[in-house]
Amino acid sequence: MAIAERFEAKLAIIVLGTTLALLSCVAAESTDHRRGLSGAGSNVFDVTCYGAKADGHKDNVQAFMKAWVAACKSGGPAKLLIPKGTFVTGPVVFAGPCKGFMTVEVQGTIQATSDVSEYSSPEWFSFENLNGLLLTGGGTFDGQGATVWKYNDCKQNSNCQLLPSSIKFYSVNNAEICSITSLNSKAFHTHVVNCQNFTAHDLNIIAPSNSPNTDGMHISRSSLVTVSNTKIGTGDDCISIGQGTTHVTISNVTCGPGHGISVGSLGKYNNEKDVSGIRVTHCTFNSTTNGVRIKTWPGSPPSQASDISFEDIIMDSVKNPIVIDQKYGSHKSAPSKVKISNVRYKNIRGTSTSPVAVSLGCSSLVPCTGVQLTDIDLQYKAIGGKDKSISSSCLNAKITCGGKQNPAACDT
């Protein structure tokens, strides 16, 4: 009899615990709905109420997807909440269209699975076909890249298959991404494709300097994109701007380590769209291999990159502060057909670890035109040796200059 009573008591405790957990989920949704936290007036969908466990082991992909579908179909503004703790998950797709504005609040750490065979598509988290998104919360996306970087062969193979990006935004319009850390992505940290009116700010993007193809943010076929107040340190470009991108503003970004902020590479594939309206301002580069760069492939199909400005830039021990490279990524002898025009460099100052601080190597077939250099002041900072004079190198570039020019401008 005593055994039966103890069993009934334990069963009652389990039932009570389950009931309290369910009630707490409902209460949390009701409370946040009244308070309007991180998305005023939103219903809240906590992933733990759909089976997610913050134990650092369980693959929570099904719980995440169930919570997303419920939020997306809820009929109004909704918030998907990932609370504090470490949640492991494989590839996740948060797809729309949804019935209201969506907020994803990441308070904890989301950790990627490391078995790349699980990733049938080259991204870990994918936000798709959404109009109205806020991704925020102060949490971390940990891509676990160190476990798989050894499989990246892109240095030896220009047609390599990239490892999964951590967060991809595809056809996401009217979006804001802020107060998120991206750590050790397998490939790109963030990938913005076919998006309109996309704002990213106050991000922290981190990977070692030797991590391959870990661009902080790659933007392509998108317009009205703003990136600001963000720290990026990676093994590749801090920000790269691909084909079909227009009206991008990048400001108050600290880059380093990494390969700088690049327009390109452009011209690798057929039928690429033009790039225009790119503004990079008030950015700082610390010990990067490049500063501000435009890069196109030789032997490329025709396209254009125009109306690009780099202004109020600080270079601190940067190997190649100002670069146009139209022979990027290949040993082909045919010149690039990407026409570069109306590029403005203004108030760029600091130190170069290379004696050639300004390198403008343009195409012999379509020379660069409308290149302006105004108030350039770069000092040579030799590493392990005596300081030497600093210089510029220019090829097939039509340049006008104004204000201070150190190094002396090319004689074109």
| Catalytic center residues | 236, 259
Instruction: For residues 109 and 101, give the distance between their C-alpha atoms in angstroms, rounded to a whole number.
Output: 23
CA 221 distance to own-chain centroid: 14
Residue type, 7: F
Quick one: 177 exposed, middle or buried, by C-beta within 10 A (0-12, 13-18, 19+)?
A: buried
Instruction: For residues 193 and 171, give the distance between their C-alpha atoms in angstroms, rounded to a whole number.
Output: 7
Partner residues linked to 227 by β-bridges: 200, 250
Tokens found for residue 45: 């969908």
| CA angle (262 as vertex; 361, 306 as ends), nearest 5 | 70
